[in-house]
A and B are shown apart, each in its own frame.
Chain A
Amino acid sequence: MARVALDLPLRANLSALDNIALIPLYQRHYGADESTRQARAMLEQLGHAEIALLRDPDMTPSQRFVTQLARALILKRPRLVIDRPGAMLYDVPYPAFIGQLAAQAEMTGIWEIFDFSWNQALYQA
């Protein structure tokens, strides 16, 4: 299971691209160039290629979320859990934003959102 959560932050001194590229670099032992290419492709797939060189402190909450999501997606685990998205995405109407990203990501596995029950109305809107 891959998680996107507030308690799994990005490495602060790395760019969005480097944070994502770490996964193919260390897990699948690709070279630096190929890992960076895969990371860039993932950001492009999510429609946020422009954030590639930003570091965590320079990102908006939604940009940070996209990077965390890209890092989780590149793990290629069968299940993706987004844990309390409201805590991370306080600058956008998040159910719609996540829906948009899910449509772009063309992910084959299962996406699950864990949220507080009182936020249920937001998803039905």
Chain B
Amino acid sequence: MNFLAASIESLGAKVAGWITVGYGMFAFLVQASLLLLERSTWNRATYDVVIKQIYFTAVQILHVFLGYTLVISWLIITIILSTARDFGLTEFASEMTIRVLVLELLPFLTALFIALRSGSAINTEVALMKVNNELDALAHCKVPPMQFEFLPRLIGGVVSVVTLAGLAGLLALLMGYIAIYGGSTAGFEPFTQTIAKIFDFRIVAGLLVKCVLFGLAVTLIPVTAGLETPKKLFMVPVSVLRGMMRVFFAIVAIEVVSLALKYV
């Protein structure tokens, strides 16, 4: 009986914890969104920090990211093509390539890439800022941490995921064409027709929303996890661990919901 009560209590505490975390993230997002609408937010200083964030999150890693996209795309396209040939379904190869790579796999891998590289760094930095009282010092100087530290990271994350996923998709399309039709221009018409058939307004809007949500997940969750850190240095690794687990589950949840909405 005691075991049952303890289990229920523990489950209740966990659920209450999840609700608190979820509410914290939602409240933070609302606060950030409201700040976006304020004119005073868009000063030169915030703009400069946003540009810096986009540079560190997307531009600095561009060559590594494109190389990684090239290898993954090439492998997946080769697998799809050889499987399609084996089953006599070559005419569906280009559609399959676009659906698997451009709509699903590449945005997902882009989000994971940014989460591992920038999300973990953001989580650590915010946690250290909290522990070292740097946020209190900024508040004392009337420098708003939301405008100076957090909002630029959110915007940078969203812009980076959307642009990198777009670039990866374009590269995959180009590689898909080369793999299927080689250097010939004869396949241009059927290939562009396939693209036009797949990319209707609903799909493009869905892809964009998914990438924006990925971008928010890889920045908003690490920031809020960092802010939850108690003022104890040994809690920083715990904060990063929690934050990154939440990011992973959020990315998977977004992908699963997106797949379910499209195909179920």
B142 A8 Cβ-Cβ under 8 A: no
Report B-chain residues with C-beta under 8 Å of the C-beta of A26: 43, 45, 142-144, 147-148
From residue A36, how far is it (CB to closest CB) to chain B in Å?
Answer: 12
Indicate if A32 sits at the interface (CB-CB under 8 A): yes
Given contacts A26-B143, A26-B144, contact A12 B132 (CB under 8 A): yes
Indicate if B50 sits at the interface (CB-CB under 8 A): no
B125 A75 Cβ-Cβ under 8 A: no
Q: How large is the interface on A (under 10, 10 to 19, 20 to 34, 35 or more residues)?
A: 10 to 19
List residues 123-158 of chain B with CB under 8 A from any CB of chain A. 125, 128-129, 132-134, 136-138, 140-144, 147-148
A13 B125 Cβ-Cβ under 8 A: yes
Please name the 7 residue pairs, one residue from A and one from B, whose CB atoms are nearest each other, closest first.
A8-B137, A25-B45, A26-B143, A22-B143, A7-B133, A8-B140, A11-B134
Report A-chain residues with C-beta under 8 Å of the C-beta of B129: 11-12
What number of B residues sit within 8 Å (CB to CB) of A? 20
B48 A11 Cβ-Cβ under 8 A: no
B137 A11 Cβ-Cβ under 8 A: yes
Indicate if A71 sits at the interface (CB-CB under 8 A): yes
Q: 25 A–B contact pairs at CB < 8 A?
A: A7-B136, A9-B134, A10-B137, A11-B129, A11-B137, A11-B138, A12-B129, A12-B134, A13-B125, A22-B143, A22-B148, A23-B141, A25-B45, A26-B43, A26-B45, A26-B142, A26-B148, A27-B143, A29-B43, A29-B44, A32-B44, A32-B45, A32-B48, A71-B141, A75-B141
Indicate if A3 sits at the interface (CB-CB under 8 A): yes
Indicate if A31 sits at the interface (CB-CB under 8 A): yes
A103 to B217, CA, bound (A): 51
Given contacts A22-B148, A26-B142, A29-B43, contact A9 B48 (CB under 8 A): no
